[in-house]
Structure 1
Amino acid sequence: MGNGYAIVDVETTGLSPGRHHRVIEVAVVHVDFSGRRTDEWCTLVNPRRDLGAQHVHGISADEVRLAPEFAGIAGELAARLSGRVLVAHNLSFDLRFLSAEYARLGFELAASGLCTMELAGQFLGASSRSLTACCEAADVPMCGARSALNSARAAAGLLMRSLDRVGDVPPVRLNVPQVVNAYATQRRRAHIPNRDFLAERVEVLPRVGTRRYDEYLDVVDRALADGRPMEEELADVACALGLDAAEVMELHRGYFTLVGELTGGRA
């Protein structure tokens, strides 16, 4: 049956591991099958490259300089995931990055799990995709500061609200040497990003209702709200989700029409 749930969140240098973007922070929150939060763990990760949009994640070069590389936390992370059901908000996003990090080390992370973005839409009355909007709909407390740990805690809250309707999901099996209590580096403080006019409206955009489409548009939401370059990274995301050019074009047409309506042309 497994050991419960591992709710994961990652902060990254960008939106696509296919563009050599890396994990720079990872958090895991454990929840047992009764819905009790039993443990949590978080560390910064040194990506050995630039940190990308620092105004978005708030992680500085000084903070990651002495942090372990992913190889240094891979065993610890494997121990915290293995035997548990993997959970994340837009699971496909976090899973792509974690799979890419393990693949660099010669290991395969072949996992499925639960997506709280989907659970919140199905069971908790959330009409939007964002973690903030889903938590508001489900009356789940969420810290306003941005960090992998705060996001994982919020997703754990969404899971706990949904547990009575969650079916059987296979736990993660990771054939990675498991090292417990590897050293972790914490960020000095969680980041409170500037929430501008566009970011606030993107946060409440309605979901489409098709899982792959919402997974893709959630990444578009992040890119647009954060002011990130989009074209090449989104092409990689679309490919990873199995979306063809016609589907992407139709999604973009509907999405940016709606953004224009919500922002009055200020996007």
Structure 2
Amino acid sequence: MTGYTVVDVETTGLSPDRGDRVVEIGVVYVSDRGEVQDRWSTLVNPQRDVGPTRIHGISASDVTNAPTFAELAPYILRAVAGRTTVAHNANFDLRFLAAEMVRSGVPLRDLPLSGVCTMQWSTAYLNAPSRRLVDCCRAGGIALTEAHSAAADALATAQLLGHYLKTSDYQPPWVDTLATTRGYGWPTFSGTYPELRMTRRTEVRAVRQDEWLDRIVSRMPRAADARVDSYLATLEMAMLDGFLAEHEKSELVGVATEAGLTRGQVLDLHADYLRAMAEVALEDHIVTAEERADLERVAFMLGLRSTDVEAALRASLDAGQGRHTSGDAIESTGIALEPGDRVVFTGDMVRERDEWEARARQVGLDPGGVTKKTKVVVAADPNSLSGKANKARTYGIPIITEAAFERLLAELRNR
């Protein structure tokens, strides 16, 4: 049976490698036409503390009689075998899924697991202000209630997937992922299926609604590289309680390493986060002593300095007066050009297109049309709706500004 299996997990923390566990799982079956066929969800007994109750709304009492992941593993195997797994920020959910499977005695090969990431593809199908599921759903006209509930998040992600499939006329651009996932060698479960006990939330507690964080995240520029967006999504989760614990710092290092980000690139991303905080603090044109202390505290946790707080406040003031465009650093972060890479130019740019193409050829790049192997598209406006830009979004190709491309050329020349 083909189709998609949408998965969402709530967890005790950010790192399965450091002992964090799944405390709730939501599963939704979706057809190749985007139709929701079935769904189920349950709390999971993590056999340890449940982690941040104020974020996911799950208490230790809730999971006392819930099934363990090992009890659920045969049913999850049946849900994913021969199908394409989907999640919003798939890197996060699939890492936990794989870790819990292995812990349950299910032998997995060819890790990490592959899947379709609705966060990654959101820039191709939505005009959302941020990568958050709630913002993507709002942009797609999809209702999301009870956010941070695995059942609700999985259903909303399934509906996002349906929107993408319909928009692409049911010929999605992730054909390679379909082949990889549906041919993945999941082990066969040959034993007796245990009783499937599902424990649903009796109520959704007052999950933390942090408008301060929401406003910060809404100001974060979208990254041109899916790996960078995944890092930023992890950073946002880590900062939900306004504090970055040592194990969360270690997890962020692991995510950055896995994404191939350098220390300098990570610090640039942290500077963008701090600038977003500064913009929130300056909404009323006054930075209080408490807001200043928050900025200083977060800067320290992110490996930044007090002078970076001043720079963030200045940049935010300039942005409010129309003199600053944020996001250039984030646009190029995680992208490195190599001789032979295909680059594409589109729109009415500051430099003539012929000049850009000549400069690209001087360092061994290949200017031309958009193909699946194109490395970047350079546009006067990254939100361009040109045919080249739309095709690039369909293929998941980064679209960057001239300024960002200039920096990438300088990096290539200096190697």
Please indicate, yes or no, whether the TM-score normalized by the shorter chain is above 0.5. yes
Find the counterpart in structure 2 of residue 262 from structure 1: 280
In structure 2, relative to structure 1, the CA distance for the partners of 1:43 and 1:213 (3 Å cut) is same
CA contact (8 A) 1:42 1:148 kept: yes
CA distance in 2, matches of 1:89, 1:233: 19
AA paired with 1:155?
A: T
Indicate the residue corresponding to 1:183 in structure 2: 197
CA 1:145 to 1:214, structure 2 compared with 1: closer, same or farther past 3 Å? closer
The within-5 A match list for 1:1-267 is 2-104=1-103, 105-108=105-108, 110=111, 111-164=113-166, 165=168, 166-167=172-173, 168=175, 169-170=178-179, 171-172=181-182, 173=184, 174-177=186-189, 179=193, 182-204=196-218, 205-228=220-243, 229=245, 230-264=248-282, 266=291, 267=294
Determine helix, strand or coil for the equivalent of 1:103.
helix
- CA distance in structure 2 between the aligned counterparts of 1:144 and 1:61, rounded to whole angstroms: 19
Partner Cα distance (1:37, 1:181) in 2: 25
Pair 181,137 (structure 1): closer, same or farther in 2 beyond 3 Å: farther
**Letter in structure 2 aligned against 1:211:** A
* Percentage of identical aligned residues: 38
Unaligned runs of 5+ residues in structure 2 are 295-415
Q: Tell me the amino acid that sits aligned with residue 233 of structure 2.
A: D
Q: After alignment, is 254-263 or 75-84 more displaced? A: 254-263
Q: Distance in 2 between matches of 1:140 and 1:224?
A: 26
The residue type equivalent to 2:10 in the other structure is E
Provide closer, same or farther for how the CA distance between residues 182 and 208 of structure 1 changes in structure 2, counting only shifts above 3 A: same
Gaps of 5+ in 1: none
Distance 1:99 1:51 in 2: 19
Per-residue deviation at 1:242? 3.4
Larger radius of gyration: 2
CA distance in 2, matches of 1:180, 1:88: 26
| Conserved? CA contact 1:10–1:27, under 8 Å | yes
TM-aligned CA deviation for residue 145 of structure 1: 4.5
CA 1:81–1:191 in structure 2 vs 1: closer, same or farther (change >3 Å)?
A: farther
Deviation at 1:192, TM superposition (A): 4.0
SS class of match (1:39): strand
Structure 1 length as normaliser, TM-score? Answer: 0.91
The AA in structure 1 aligned to 2:203 is R
Over aligned residue pairs, what C-alpha RMSD do you find?
A: 2.0
Larger relative contact order (Cα-Cα within 8 Å, sequence gap ≥ 6): 1
Amino acid at match of 1:175: P
The range that moved more, 227-236 or 17-26, is 227-236
Cα offset, 1:226, TM superposition? 3.5
For residues 179-222 of structure 1, give each alpha carbon's deviation from its aligned partner in whole angstroms, at most 9, with x where no partner exists.
48622221212344232332221341331121000001011112
Per the alignment, do residues 65 and 27 of structure 1 end up closer, same or farther by CA in structure 2, a change over 3 Å counting? same
Deviation at 1:81, TM superposition (A): 1.2
Q: Which amino acid aligns with 2:56?
A: H
Q: Secondary structure at the match of 1:48?
A: coil
Gap change, CA 1:261 and 1:145, over 3 Å in 2:
closer
User: In the alignment, which residue of structure 1 is the partner of 2:373?
Assistant: none
Aligned-pair CA distance for 1:51: 0.9
Shift of 1:158: 0.9
Q: Secondary structure at the match of 1:83?
A: coil
> Following the alignment from structure 1 to structure 2, what is the Cα–Cα distance between the partners of residues 194 and 54?
9
Contact 2:146 2:204 in 1 (8 A): no
Work out the CA distance in 2 between the residues paired with 1:87 and 1:22: 20
Contact 1:88 1:152 in 2 (8 A): yes
Whether the aligned pair in 2 keeps the contact of 1:16 and 1:234 (CA below 8 Å) is: no
State the distance in 1 between where 2:159 and 2:217 align: 19
- Give the Cα separation in 1 of the matches to 2:40 and 2:256: 31
Instruction: Give a deviation string over 1:26-48, Cα, whole Å, max 9, x none.
Output: 11111101221100011111111
